[in-house]
Chain A
Amino acid sequence: MKETIEIIGQIFLLMGSFSLLTAAIGLLRMPDVYNRVQTGTKASTLGAIMSFIGLALMAFENWGEINWVGRFAVLVVFILLTNPVSSHVLMRAAYAMKIPLSKLTSVDKLREDINNKIVEEPKDE
């Protein structure tokens, strides 16, 4: 039973590290600012959460102390709250700076909504 929990924690840690690695590869290879923001924050959120879950499982299995698990839980909740907010604010700032979209982009829902006067355009004051 103890070895099972430890092996599950190690698998979680490896999968989280691999997800962070794919986030960095996407950060290098994506053609556009918006794609880079999306892949850089989404995949790194998943990778960090999986790594912390794996480390918490291993720590709880090794020492059986609850303060490790509590601190990892605080980190997971914190990343889950702050990372989407920062990506949203950055994306909006990039749209307000009028950084051009990639040529491969075919749908721009925010531009359609601005043309239909549903939302206001984010201003670069």
Chain B
Amino acid sequence: MDNIVFYISIAMLMVTLLAGLIRFIKGPSVVDRVVAFDSMTVTSLVMIGVIAFLSNRAIYLDVAVVYGFLSFLGVIIVAKYIQGGL
């Protein structure tokens, strides 16, 4: 019963990643690409959480925290560079 829920959730997350990838490839401006990257990162965080729950290892969540912090830093730096303040 509970495996079905995880299968459906992971399928939704995979479709989300695919849509973000399409927007990342054909986005007309730089900001579109950065937003698609940010959305894909948040989706990956949720996916890391699901995988950590399924494989019963709490250490994967620390990886998720560090990954989210690096993504936030990357978005801020790219936006600052676009605006010309770097």
Contact = CB atoms under 8 A, between A and B. Distances in A.
Interface in B64-86: 64-65, 68-69, 72, 75-76, 79-80, 82-85
Question: Chain B, interface size: which category?
Answer: 35 or more
Contact of B36 (A40, A72, A122): A40
Nearest to B17: A24
Given A27-B19, A27-B36, A55-B53, A14 B5 contact: yes
A16 B45 CA distance: 12
B39 A27 contact: yes
A63 B35 CA distance: 37
B47 to A, nearest CB: 9
Q: Classify the secondary structure of A's interface with B.
A: helix
Contacts, number: 158
Interface residues of A, number: 55
Interface of A: 6, 10, 13-14, 16-18, 20-21, 23-25, 27-28, 33, 36-37, 40-41, 44-45, 47-48, 51-52, 55, 58-59, 63, 65, 67-68, 71-72, 74-75, 78-79, 82-83, 85-87, 89-90, 92-94, 96-97, 99, 122-125
